[in-house]
Structure 1
Amino acid sequence: MYSKMALNNVKKSFKDYTIYFLTLTFAVCIFYSFNSIDSQSVMADMNKGQTEYVKIMGQMISVISIGVSVILGGLIIYATKFLINRRKKEFGIYMVLGMPKRKMSKILFFETLYIGIISLVAGLIFGLLFAQVLSIFTAKLFAMQMTKYSFVISTSSILKTILYFGIMYLLVMIFNVFIISRYKLIDLLCANKKNEEVKIRNPYLATFILMVSLVVLGYAYYLVNKAGLDFYDNRFKLSIVFGIIGTALFFYGIASVVFFIFQKNKNLYLNGLNIFSIRQISSKFNTNFISMTIICLMLFVTIGTLSTGLAVKNSLEGTLKNQTPFDASLQVFDNEKSSNIISPVDALKQLNYNLEDNSDYTILRQYQYDMSTKDLLDKYATTDGEKQTLNIKIFEKISMIKLSEYNSMRKLKGETSIDLKNDEIVIASNYAPIEGILKGFIEKENSIKIGDKEFKIKEKKIETEALSTSPTSDNMFTLIVTDDLVAGLEPSEEVLNLNFSGNNKEEAKNELTTIFNNSTFDNSESKKVNYTIYGLTREMAYDASRGLSAMILFIAVYIGIVLLLSSAAVLALQQLSQCNESIERYKCLRQIGATKNMINKSIFKQVAIFFALPLALSIVHSYVGISVVNTYLIALGTGNQFTSILVTALIMLIVYGGYLYATYVAYKNIANNEYK
């Protein structure tokens, strides 16, 4: 009997359950599709390196899913509380008819069970479809051509989804029993008669608090710009603390200040239902400033995560072509001395790799000259970030390359040689974080003093070409000098660059790839073979860059969408809950002559402002945060930041805007239904 009553209740209250049901369905869909990414058909077309990156991504998503399930569990409990409050009068009637609380809990148990089963089934169906889209998206991220496609169902991910959401629903059922046990009959029967107190704070105190919040937030922005992303810097930690405090104070004071300003403007305040709308909005913000603070911070993390994840992808892949000029590059490191003075040519010969027949190659050696790059460039570093960059150890000395070897490298790339006079040098760097420093240096300086001699900077420009095949910048700051200038210096690095040649290019590439994957070689009988080879083919460099960017992007989108979904759902449920508490007010409005259209406009204003204000402040937070992050992203390369911002805005518009509209429709229906 109780299960049948519960089923009928779900059917009758479907409109009340719509946002709740859609939120759960969407959550299950996202949860399953992201957790099944390493089981999709795209894996069949991936090479070994790409497969490893996807497996690592799957493992990371699996760990993050534990935190995601906690967030979604809290969301479900919050939503359930709203649904129970909506039906207090119904439960009161049950109690009047003699139904014990234990039986009421049983009805709620079955209702939660039915909703859980429906949302799980619907979410898994949509998740199965969305997972196929993610599979195609993954192939695009790795620039793959899928030779075959098959619809894949991940049994392990289905079981994980059922397990995680089953635990969540079990907690919800326990929560329901606890809530029901605390109800008193008089509270249930009179729930719709109670009216919330309209709280309007002292406007002068609110104004002071609002001004303090702006100062605190401004100081937080200042600190984070100074500290950057140095998590160990106390200024960074303080920026987080002040950011949270400032946000809370902002929402504490803003509503009363705005209410006071509008109240002074009689033409606006007394126009239509503005007096009612403004008081409603002010009361809601005053009552819910803590939850608004949390939602604002969640939206900030959402925007920052999504836009940064997309920006990292664009940055990593934006310079790949320039960073991979050769078919392969490698260095050899002595395992005992942690240096790379072992010749790559000798190392490959010892491993029986036929370098001469398989490729055209050149050796590029770098020499460390006892002169500080930091001292040379320091006065052109204009920001704290640039000054911190110059503190990297590699800038303690100046790196130099022989002109002859540099020209050999250019010849291998199919470029013309350059000529240098005895008093000329060339500056080379493709490290984006010091691009501004070098621009200022090259504009003001015509020469560099090395030892006792001045060397003119040839053509007063910076060479930005890559010196080897690498997924990221490989040349921080290097001087191209005549051979005699480095005479007597020992090379600090030795890189072998090669292009495959002959009739067996594919076999040669596969053989070299195997050597790179094995990496470490040790022969206990001969200490001559005790080294580590670090190298990448062009394909490996592309896979490394795309694999890293895919991991960051998927995790960013996964976390971002879950937080966005939770924020929007909480806002929606808060609005609908407060609508129930304000029903008597809407009845009064109708009785004094307010039309349905006027009431609907008032409802839209309330919902829109309630959604817009935390979003607006989160956008300001995000602008500051993204600006700080971008100073670090340029180290990965340059990318189209506008695209990442545009895609983030589109996701926010679809999800957040969709919830705003759905809340408005549901709010309007609840308010209008009371008049029928």
Structure 2
Amino acid sequence: MYSNMALKNVRRSFKDYTIYFLTLTFAVCIFYSFNSIQAQQAMFDMNKAQSQYVKIMGTLISNISVFISVILGALIIYATNFLINRRKKEFGIYMSLGMSKRKMSMILFFETLIIGLISLAFGLFVGIFLSQGLSILTAKLFVVSMSKYKFIVSTEAIIKTLCYFGVMYLLVMIFNVLIVSRYKLIDLLSASKKSEKVKIKNVYVSLFIFILSMIVLGVAYYLICKVGMDFEDRRFMESIILGIVGTALFFYGIASTLLFIIQRNKNIYLNKLNVFNTRQITSKFNTNFISMTIICLMLFLTICILSTGFSIKTGLENSLKTYTPFDASVQLSMKNKANIHIEEAMKRLNYKLGEKEDYCILNDYKLNVSTTKLLAPYCSKEVKMLVEADMYSETDAMSLSDFNAVRRLAGKEAVKLNDDEVLVASNYDYVSSAVQQFLNKESSITINNSAYKIKEKNPIKESVSTSGSSNTMFSLIVPDKLAKSSKLDAQVINFNFTDKSKKQQLEKIITDMKYNDLFKKTNFYISGSTREMIYESSRGLSTIVLFIAMYIGVVFLLASVAILALQQLSQCNESIDRYNSLRKIGASKSMIKKSILTQVLTFFMLPLLLAIVHSIVGIGVVSKYIKTIGDLNILGPSLITGLIMLVVYGGYFYATYIGYKNIITSDYN
């Protein structure tokens, strides 16, 4: 009996609670799709290294899913509480007809169970198909083929989804039963007549709070820009706390402030339903400023996570074109135990130089000049911490002839230097500003008590070897005579292959050195990479970052807009009598619709606009640090993030407006 009644109730209310069902379905879909990535690996033509990255990504997503499940669990509790509040009058009628609270709890138990099963079923169904698209995206990001493609359903991901959501729904059902047990008949029957009191705070107090919020947020922005991502600096935590407090004060004070400003302009305030609209908006902000604060901060995190995730992906891969001018590069430190040069080292590894490849040797020297002393006066606080490291107590240098050999191998023309001239090389974006300021201010460098003129006022930014990141923070190109009198620190060989077998041989040597302890047999360590190895490593790392950013970002976005939408629809019941009163005094249906649109748009746009302002500051700070991994362009990733926000946020806004409008205007002819 109770199950049949519950089924009828769910069927009857399905249309009214579309947002609720869609939110839960979408949550299950996202949860399954990302947790099934590792199962899709079977269809990819991946090598061992790529497979390892997919495995790492699957493990990280699985661990993050615990955190995600907490967020989704809170969202489900909020959403089901919304359903209960919408039906208080119905429960009051049940109770007045003699139904006990235990029986009402049983009906609610079955309703929650049915809703959960429907959401899980639809979510898994959509997630299974979405995961196939995610597999295609994974293959594209790793640049591998899917010759073994087949429709895969991850049993492990289904079990994990059922377990996580099963536990969550069990807690929700217990929560619902406890809520019903505390209801009183008088409260249930009069629920539709109760509404929030329109609390208009003293306008001067509100104005003071609003101005204070601007000051607090300004201080927060200043502190975070000043200290950056230095977590050990107490000002970092202070900026976070001030940002949260400032956001709360903003939403607490803005409604009454706007009301005060609008009231001063009678032409606007007394026009059509603006009096009603401003009072409605003010009342809701007064009671919901905490939830608006949470929504704004979650949107801020969503924008930052998605933008930086896409930025890291594009930045890592775009920078590789600059950092990999040769097919391969290997390096040998001159501090090796065997005390040999790099040509002898390659010979002992049975690698014959000059067969089916072009190569050049680059000697890396150390000059008795402190890079720290040269650059520190021109560095910001963050950069200064880097250049003050012990490794920069001397300055890297390369001879003119070695540098020209590198340029010839790269197909470029040689450069010329006089015996009293040097060139500065630097392709590390993090210190580019300091290096440029140094070149603008200085005209010479003293080396071994002799002054050498700086020939060019712009640094040479080309890479002198193939690597996964910038390989020249600050280096001098000096005359051969000066280089030969300096300390040899390391040697590099750059290769351009004419035969694939030679590249494979070199890859095996590099791999054996790194993973198979080959250096224990040789007493020296050769490090390096081929261009393909670097690209694979970069794609693997950037894809992991991107997927995790998408997973967390989309869930945060879903939670934010769902809470906002459910909150508006929940408060819709409180406004029904008010809109009926407007209709009785002559308000047209079009005026009512415009009023609803104004209110819903205000509540959706204000937290989003403040979140965007927060994000501009936050992304600016973060980009200074992630810029060290490559040349980042934030515009493209920001546009992609904006598109995602437009689709999801805009979709929920439209659905909320339609739902709100249908409830209010259902009695109109």
Common fold, TM-score beyond 0.5?
yes
In structure 1, how many angstroms separate the alpha carbons of the residues matched to 2:516 and 2:405?
Answer: 27
Q: Which residue of 2 is the match for residue 544 of structure 1? A: 537
Letter in 2 for 1:673: S
1:554 alignment counterpart: 547
1:210 aligns with 2:207: no
**SS of equivalent to 1:16:** coil
Deviation at 1:407, TM superposition (A): 2.5
Partner of 2:663: 670
Q: 1:480 aligns with which of 468, 477, 482?
A: 477
Deviates further, 171-180 or 115-124:
115-124
Over 3 Å counting, the alpha-carbon distance change for 1:427 and 1:333 in structure 2 is: closer
Aligned residues of 2:360 and 2:495 also touching (Cα < 8 A):
yes
2:398 is matched with 401
- What's 2:97 paired with? 97
* Residues 1:154 and 1:513: Cα distance change in structure 2 (over 3 Å): farther
Q: 1:241 to 1:450 in 2, by over 3 A?
A: same
| Alignment equivalent of 2:362, drawn from 364, 376, 380 | 364
In the TM superposition, residue 606 of structure 1 has moved relative to its aligned partner by 0.5
1:306 aligns with 2:306: yes
Match of 2:587 in 1: 594
SS at match of 1:319: helix
Offset of residue 340 of structure 1 = 11
Does residue 412 (structure 1) correspond to residue 405 (structure 2)? The answer is no
Q: Cα offset for 1:276?
A: 0.6
CA positional deviation for 1:355 = 4.4
For 2:495 and 2:635, the matched residues in 1 are separated by 36
User: Is 1:576 aligned to 2:566, yes or no?
Assistant: no
Unpaired runs of at least 5, structure 2: none
The answer to whether structure 1 residue 535 and structure 2 residue 528 are counterparts is yes
Q: Is contact 1:403-1:481 (8 Å) kept?
A: yes
Q: Is the 8 A contact 2:468 2:534 kept in 1?
A: yes
Q: Which residue of 2 aligns with 1:88?
A: 88
When residues 506 and 470 of structure 1 are mapped into structure 2, their CA distance, relative to the original with a 3 A threshold, is closer
The residue identity in structure 2 corresponding to 1:552 is V
8 Å CA contact 1:220, 1:243 repeated in 2: yes
Count of matched residue pairs: 669
Q: 1:510 to 1:401 in 2, by over 3 A?
A: closer
Which AA in structure 2 matches 1:621?
A: H
Equivalence map 1:235-250=2 (5 Å): 235-250=235-250
Note closer, same or farther for the CA distance 1:136–1:206 as it changes in structure 2 (3 Å cut): same
1:612 and 1:427 map into 2 onto residues whose CA distance is: 50
Q: Who is 2:74 aligned against? A: 74
What SS is found at the alignment partner of 2:181?
A: helix
Moved more, 652-661 or 633-642: 633-642
Change (3 A) 1:379 1:587: same
SS of match in other structure, 1:362: strand
Please state how far the C-alpha of 1:567 moved relative to its aligned partner.
Answer: 0.4
Q: 1:500 to 1:300 in 2, by over 3 A?
A: same
SS at match of 2:491: strand
**What's the CA shift for 1:612?**
0.5
Q: 1:401–1:10: structure 2 CA closer, same or farther, 3 Å change rule?
A: same
**How do 1:306-385 residues align onto structure 2 when only pairs under 5 Å count?**
306-332=306-332, 343-357=341-355, 359-381=357-379, 383-385=380-382
> What whole-Å deviation, never above 9, does each CA across 1:251-300 have from its counterpart, x for those lacking one?
11111111111112111111111111101101111101111111111111
Does 2:628 align with 1:603? no
- Aligned partner of 2:449 among 434, 449, 452: 452
Alignment partner of 2:626 out of 609, 624, 633:
633
Counterpart residue number, 2:488: 491
SS for the counterpart of 1:198 is coil
Q: State the partner residue of 2:428.
A: 431
Structure 1 segment 632-651 matched on structure 2, within 5 A: 632-651=625-644
Secondary structure of 2:15's aligned partner: helix
User: Is the contact between residue 41 and residue 151 of structure 1 (CA under 8 Å) also seen in structure 2?
Assistant: no
Q: Report the alpha carbon displacement of residue 212 of structure 1 after superposing the two structures with TM.
A: 1.1
Structure 1 residues 672 and 339, CA, compared in 2 at 3 Å: closer, same or farther?
Answer: farther
What per-residue deviation string (whole Å, max 9, x for no partner) do you get for residues 367-397 of structure 1?
Answer: 222222232233433x444444433444332
Relative to structure 1, the CA distance from residue 493 to residue 332 in structure 2 (aligned partners, 3 Å threshold; closer, same or farther) is closer
Instruction: Return the offset for 1:130.
Output: 1.3
Q: 1:345 to 1:181 in 2, by over 3 A?
A: farther
Tell me which amino acid in the other structure corresponds to 1:84.
I
Aligned mates of 1:269, 1:341 — CA distance in 2: 86
Displacement of 1:503 in angstroms is 6.7
Q: Name the CA distance, whole Å, in 2 between partners of 1:290 and 1:578.
A: 16
The aligned residue for residue 459 of structure 2 is: 462
Could you say if the C-alpha distance between residues 89 and 313 of structure 1 is closer, same or farther in structure 2, counting changes exceeding 3 Å?
same
Tell me the alpha carbon deviations over residues 629-652 of structure 1, each in whole angstroms, 9 at most, x when there is no partner. 111122112133211110011011
Is the 2:589–2:668 contact (alpha carbons within 8 Å) kept by the matching residues of 1?
no
Report the secondary structure of 1:213's partner residue: helix
Deviations 1:41-100 (A, max 9, x none): 575212221111111111111111110000000000001001000000111111122221
Deviates more, 1:643-652 or 1:259-268: 259-268
Shift of 1:226: 0.9
Q: Give, as a single letter, the amino acid of the residue that structure 1 aligns with 2:229.
A: L
CA distances 1:578-607 after superposition (whole Å, capped 9, x unpaired): 111222111211111111111111111111
The change in CA–CA distance for 1:503 and 1:318 in structure 2 (over 3 A counts) is: closer
Report the CA distance shift for 1:417/1:516 in structure 2 as closer, same or farther (over 3 A).
Answer: farther
User: Does the aligned pair in 2 maintain the 1:449–1:455 contact within 8 Å?
Assistant: yes
Q: In the superposition, relative to structure 1, how do residues 628 and 160 fare at CA in structure 2: closer, same or farther (>3 Å)?
A: same
Distance in 2 between the 1:33 and 1:244 partners?
A: 33
After the TM superposition, which of the residue ranges 660-669 and 454-463 deviates more from structure 2? Answer: 454-463
CA distance in 1, matches of 2:40, 2:60: 16
TM-score (norm. length: structure 1) = 0.95
- Supply the AA of the counterpart residue of 1:468: S
Structure 1 pair 339–620 and aligned structure 2 pair: CA distance change class (3 A): farther
**1:117 maps to what in 2?**
117
Structure 1 residue corresponding to 2:515, chosen from 506, 518, 528: 518
Q: Distance in 2 between matches of 1:396 and 1:86?
A: 70
CA distance in structure 2 between the partners assigned to 1:511 and 1:529 by the alignment: 15
Q: Which consecutive unaligned segments of at least 5 residues does structure 1 have?
A: none
Deviation of 1:136 (Å): 1.4
Does structure 1 conserve the Cα–Cα contact (< 8 Å) formed by 2:248 and 2:293? yes
Q: 1:343 to 1:146 in 2, by over 3 A?
A: farther
Aligned-partner residue type, residue 280 of structure 2: Q
Counterpart secondary structure, 1:152 = coil
Q: Which amino acid aligns with 1:479?
A: L
Inter-partner Cα distance in structure 2 for 1:290 and 1:463: 53
Deviation at 1:535, TM superposition (A): 1.9
Partner of 2:220: 220
SS of 1:46 mapped into structure 2: coil
Change over 3 Å in CA distance of 1:153–1:343 after alignment to 2: farther
Q: Secondary structure at the match of 2:457?
A: strand
* Cα distance in 2 for residues equivalent to 1:277 and 1:251: 17
Q: CA shift at 1:520, angstroms? A: 2.9
